């Protein structure tokens, strides 16, 4: 069984590997940096963006990633999330969704508000919490917010978004 710390480190190194393979320079952000796990630049050092990595293995019914309240308000054209799904087995090929922070913030805020307004299993009101879930299918958990099955597919392995965002900063 992999600990969450080890899984997080595996995700960060996997994402760095993918970025380096694509000719970008990637490095772990210093410990304690609140909104970025990896900083990314080109070989000249003129283009820069940041990546926050979220990793998961195949457990849980909703197939999502844990997030927090703070992620609803983090919006920057140079910040991206890399959602890594390592799959059910050690031999599974990882799948990564590269998503702009603006999209993540919007989806998390919409889904949380919808969840707060929907009744719980016994008809009770939901209480406010700092926990959020980033899901590939919100319809599956009865949160019909326009992000149903397949909405995340366009971000699957979309590493080019990082290169494009960095190029805009020149």
| φ and ψ at residue 109, rounded to 5 degrees | -65, -45
CA distances from 139 to 62, 97, 102, 114, 144 (A): 10, 19, 21, 11, 5
**88 and 94 Cβ atoms separated by less than 8 Å:** no
**96 and 18 Cβ atoms separated by less than 8 Å:** yes
Model confidence at 2, pLDDT cuts 50, 70, 90, reads: low
What's the pLDDT tens digit per position in 17-54? 999 998 888 999 988 888 899 999 877 777 789 999 99
Model confidence at 60, pLDDT cuts 50, 70, 90, reads: low
Per-residue confidence (pLDDT) for residue 117, from 0 to 100: 85
- Which of 51-60, 78-87, 110-119 shows the highest mean pLDDT? 78-87
Domains of the chain are: 4-105+152-168 (3.40.1350.10)
Say how far apart CA 145 and CA 114 lie, in whole Å: 7
Per-residue confidence (pLDDT) for residue 4, from 0 to 100: 82
User: In this model, does residue 152 exceed pLDDT 90?
Assistant: yes
pTM for the complete prediction? 0.90
What's the pLDDT tens digit per position in 100-148? 999 999 999 998 888 888 878 888 888 888 999 999 988 877 766 788 8
**105 and 73 Cβ atoms separated by less than 8 Å:** yes
Say how far apart CA 50 and CA 43 lie, in whole Å: 15
What's the pLDDT tens digit per position in 93-112? 999 999 999 999 999 999 88
Percentage with pLDDT > 70 across the chain: 93
């Amino acid at each position: 069984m992999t600990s969450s710390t080890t899984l997080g480190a595996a995700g960060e190194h996997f994402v760095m590997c993918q970025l380096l393979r694509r000719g970008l320079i990637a490095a772990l952000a210093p410990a304690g940096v609140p909104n970025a796990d990896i900083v990314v630049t080109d070989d000249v050092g003129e283009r820069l963006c940041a990546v926050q990595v979220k990793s998961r293995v195949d457990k849980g019914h909703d197939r999502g990633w844990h997030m927090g309240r703070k992620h609803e308000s983090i919006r920057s054209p140079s910040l991206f999330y890399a959602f890594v799904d390592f799959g059910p087995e050690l031999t599974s090929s990882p799948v990564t969704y590269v998503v702009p922070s603006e999209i993540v913030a919007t989806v998390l805020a919409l889904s949380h508000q919808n969840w707060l307004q929907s009744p719980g299993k016994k008809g009770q009101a939901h209480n406010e919490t700092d926990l959020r879930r980033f899901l590939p299918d919100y319809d599956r958990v009865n949160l019909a917010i326009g992000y149903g099955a397949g909405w995340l597919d366009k971000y699957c392995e979309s590493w080019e978004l990082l290169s494009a965002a960095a190029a805009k900063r020149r």
